[in-house]
Amino acid sequence: MTHSNINDRSQLVADAIAFMQSLVRHYGESQGMKTFERLADSADPELKGEVFIAMLTGQFSGRITLHSVADGANAVSCIKAIRTVDSRRLGLKEAKDIYDGLKYNGKTAVLEVSFNDRGRAASELRTAGFVL
């Protein structure tokens, strides 16, 4: 699977979770889940399992864990990406501290993002040079 296909699939899983949550809100837990299962079975049988695993592991929890900065990544682009996607509205110093901790100290960092924007945020962070 190519990098683009992985990002597309990740976005599909995020959209499926949001859709499932909408069905549950509208129809109630039991009917919402039954409706989602029928739709997922007809459209993409593997999707149900991917959604379950994503929810179980917290992959779509509104948080993104940054593990490292790729070699050759531009520091300004990375810091800008942190400030853009994190919902806490971090200042320049806080974003730079996160970048420095990842790049030079081997630390990990957790960013707070909107659940609905998680796919876009992850893509922007990867493009800037982060390893999620």
Same domain, 44 and 78: no
The residue type at 18: A
Nearest of 94, 91, 81, 85 to residue 114 by alpha carbon: 85
Phi, psi of 71, rounded to the nearest 5 degrees: -60, 135
pTM: 0.61
- In angstroms, the CA 76 to CA 82 distance is 10
Domain span holding position 108 = 63-131
Do both 124 and 75 map to the same domain? yes
Residue among 72, 71, 88, 70 at smallest CA distance from 125: 70
Q: Which of 16, 31, 57 is the last residue of a domain?
A: 57
> Same domain, yes or no, for 110 and 52?
no
Q: pLDDT 10s per residue in the chain (132 long)?
A: 544 566 688 888 888 988 988 898 999 999 999 999 999 899 888 998 999 888 887 666 778 999 999 999 999 999 999 999 999 999 999 999 999 999 999 999 999 998 778 888 999 999 999 999
Regarding whether 81 and 120 lie in a shared domain, the answer is yes
Report the C-alpha gap between 102 and 91 in whole angstroms. 17
Q: Which residues pair with 68 in a beta bridge?
A: 131
- Spatial distance between the Cα atoms of 114 and 131, rounded to a whole number of angstroms: 19
**Domain boundary, last residue among 57, 72, 92:** 57
Same domain membership, residue 68 and residue 21: no
User: Are 72 and 118 within one domain?
Assistant: yes
Please tell me the total count of domains within the chain.
2
Residue 76 belongs to domain with CATH number:
3.30.1390.10
- The two structure tokens encoding residue 6: 């992985």
Same domain flag for 70 and 98: yes
